[in-house]
Amino acid sequence: MATKSPLLKAIYRDSLSLLTDLYELTMAYAYWKNGLADREAAFQLFFRKEPFKGTFAICAGIEVACEFIESFSFTEEDLAYLASLKTPAGGTLFEEDFLKFLQTMPMTLEVDAVEEGTPIFPYEPFIRVQGPIIQAQIIESALLNIVNFQTLIATKAARVAFAADGDHVVEFGLRRAQGIDGAIAASRAAYIGGCHSTSHTLAGKLFGIPVMGTQAHSWVMTFEEEKEAFRAFANALPGNCIFLIDTYNTIEGVKRAVEVMKEEKGRFPLIGVRLDSGDLNALSKQVRAVLDEAGLTETKIMATNELTEQIIWDLKHQGAKIDIWGVGTNLVTAKDQPALDGVYKLSAVQDEQKKWRSCLKISEQVIKTTNPGVSQVRRYTNGGEYVADMLYDVGMGPGETIVHHTDPGAKKAVEKGWTGQDLIVPMLRKGKSVYIHPPLEKMRERTTSELGRFPQGIRRFLNPQLYFSGIEESLFAKKIEMIEQIKKR
């Protein structure tokens, strides 16, 4: 069973408050120095570019991010380190009173977010943070670190699961993951995205993910005879017999596995055999024929060896006789796109009279111009299928027309009969949890069920169907007006 103790405390005994870039702390100091520490602000976290040349991402990492905020505090050791920092000129970087302020600063942020396992699209905030600007600023780097990676891996896993078309997928990437932290986060996210199990036993313990293991070539090579290796493994683990059959010759390997089965007269079931090299399509068909001829029609064939969603897709369509897919390096490192371009931007701030002022960042690159205000995302359904997303300002409310995020000439009217659901829900209030995070299995189920409500074409690997996601028309007009005013300054 998964532990329900806080994940970060279960892994990291020390404070993580310094998991940030120094400029977050220098800005925090400047806010405090100028009397702005308690000024209310709103930040929005979103990504700009679809990962893996697809159309969507799978939201992941929210529970960990919320735990980070809820447990945030500076220890004496943290503050001693900050007190030791110097300016380039050799002076003290942070004055003592500021460090005392940090020591007693309560975390009172309001955090709203999209539920994990939900498909999301570019420019749609999936975390919204509101509260004292000094608090909201300090957590920026950590939030991006947590959710960018997990969202990326969950998305990759969803693509792999789609390619496997219901077959069992094992996350097999611990040894190639980007360090201990990367391995733990990747296993969690891969399960949310659609993997059925993991080879990673610590992830199994922490998250309750089913674990699965076979054997390595070193086991087979330890014995002089391949049959001896299979027999010894079966004697040790009669209920977990999945033999690696390609150490020397794949076809001879499967024949020897069958011989051991016959010699043992069914004392143990041969659950499966694993292929880790060669032409997986041709070999799987030959191996299947050997197994079926021996009456082992229930024995599964597992494939590993640098698999990607495209390779799995091709093998499936070539008729490969593979039942279980072990996907490692390309999944846990997101090898073809090793980062999600998630950003965390200020979208509104209070003035001295505590009146809210919307703000945005403009750029010569249209995609880098942000959206003003405090945003919500409404997803519309027609006849049970998702048809469009609208980003709107909570103070203005949803309208009747959606303007595409990157193509202002493309618009979609909200039709009569559509039903809408807001995706961003309360997670923390005054720094404390108000949301019960479901077990990972439920998050995984959410990924599958929610993706099933979109047109299937959005999941294609080549020229995927685009899903309409945009900004409410009145908010878009306000955004254009603000851009023009900023340009006149």
pLDDT tens digit sequence for 283-292: 999 999 999 9
Q: Answer with the residue of higher pLDDT: 180 or 367.
A: 180
Class of domain 38-64+110-149+344-488: alpha beta
DSSP labels for 11-67?
Answer: H--S--TT-S-HHHHHHHHHHHHTT-TT-EEEEEEEESS-GGGSS-EE---HHHHHH
User: Right CATH number for 154-332 from 3.20.20.70, 3.40.190.10, 3.90.660.20, 3.40.1160.10?
Assistant: 3.20.20.70
Residues of the chain with CATH 3.20.20.70: 154-332
Q: What is the mean pLDDT of residues 446-460?
A: 96
Per-residue pLDDT band for 4 (boundaries 50, 70, 90) equals low
CA dist., res. 98 & res. 86, Å (int): 15
Whether 242 contacts 302, CB under 8 Å = yes
Question: 393-440, pLDDT tens digit by residue?
Answer: 999 999 999 999 999 999 999 999 999 999 999 999 999 999 999 999
Question: 295-338, pLDDT tens digit by residue?
Answer: 999 999 999 999 999 999 999 999 999 999 999 999 999 999 99
pLDDT at 127: 98
Please check the confidence at residue 342 and state whether its pLDDT lies above 70. Answer: yes
165-169, 353-357, 379-383, 410-414: which range is least confident on average?
353-357
Question: 181-236, pLDDT tens digit by residue?
Answer: 999 999 999 999 999 999 999 999 999 999 999 999 999 999 999 999 999 999 99
Helix 309-317 × helix 140-164 angle, to 10°: 10
Q: What is the mean pLDDT of residues 131-153?
A: 98
Name 40's Cβ contacts closer than 8 Å, sequence gap at least 6. 130, 131, 132, 133, 349, 350, 354, 356
Q: Are strands 40-47 and 127-132 parallel, antiparallel or unpaired?
A: antiparallel
Q: In which region does residue 131 sit, left (phi positive, over 0), alpha (psi from -120 to 50) or beta (all else)?
A: left
Q: Which residue in the block uniquely carries the two structure tokens 């189920």?
A: 445
Q: In which region does residue 123 sit, left (phi positive, over 0), alpha (psi from -120 to 50) or beta (all else)?
A: left
Instruction: Find, among 343, 269, 253, 461, the residue nearest to 46 by Cα.
Output: 343
**In DSSP terms, which residues pair with 114 in a beta bridge?**
424
Q: Which residue in the block uniquely carries the two structure tokens 């009146």?
A: 355
Q: Computed from CA positions of residues 93, 98, 104, 106, in that sequence, does the dihedral angle turn out positive or negative? A: negative
Please check the confidence at residue 114 and state whether its pLDDT lies above 70. Answer: yes
pLDDT at 163: 98
14-18, 172-176, 332-336, 376-380: which range is least confident on average?
14-18
Residue 468 structure tokens: 């309409």
Please check the confidence at residue 265 and state whether its pLDDT lies above 80. Answer: no
Per-residue pLDDT band for 363 (boundaries 50, 70, 90) equals confident
CA dist., res. 448 & res. 67, Å (int): 25
Name 217's Cβ contacts closer than 8 Å, sequence gap at least 6. 244, 247, 276
Name 73's Cβ contacts closer than 8 Å, sequence gap at least 6. 15, 17, 107
Q: Which residue in the block uniquely carries the two structure tokens 């539920």?
A: 115
pLDDT at 222: 97
12-16, 163-167, 203-207: which range is least confident on average?
12-16
Residues of the chain with CATH 3.20.140.10: 38-64+110-149+344-488
Query: SS3 of 186, please?
Result: helix
Q: For residue 169, what is the enclosing H or E element?
A: strand 168-171
Per-residue pLDDT band for 13 (boundaries 50, 70, 90) equals low
Q: What is the mean pLDDT of residues 267-293?
A: 96
Task: Give the whole-number percent of the chain exceeding pLDDT 90.
Answer: 91
Please check the confidence at residue 2 and state whether its pLDDT lies above 60. Answer: no
Q: What is the DSSP letter of 458?
A: G
Please check the confidence at residue 42 and state whether its pLDDT lies above 90. Answer: yes
Please check the confidence at residue 380 and state whether its pLDDT lies above 90. Answer: yes
> Longest Cα pair distance anywhere in the chain, in angstroms?
86
Please check the confidence at residue 54 and state whether its pLDDT lies above 60. Answer: yes
Within 13 Å of residue 95, how many CA atoms lie on the same side as its CB?
6
Task: State the average pLDDT for the chain.
Answer: 95
Q: Answer with the residue of higher pLDDT: 200 or 264.
A: 200
1-5, 105-109, 449-453: which range is least confident on average?
1-5
pLDDT at 1: 42
Question: 73-110, pLDDT tens digit by residue?
Answer: 999 999 999 999 999 999 999 999 999 999 999 999 99
Please check the confidence at residue 3 and state whether its pLDDT lies above 50. Answer: no
**What global pTM score does this model have?**
0.95
Query: SS3 of 465, please?
Result: coil
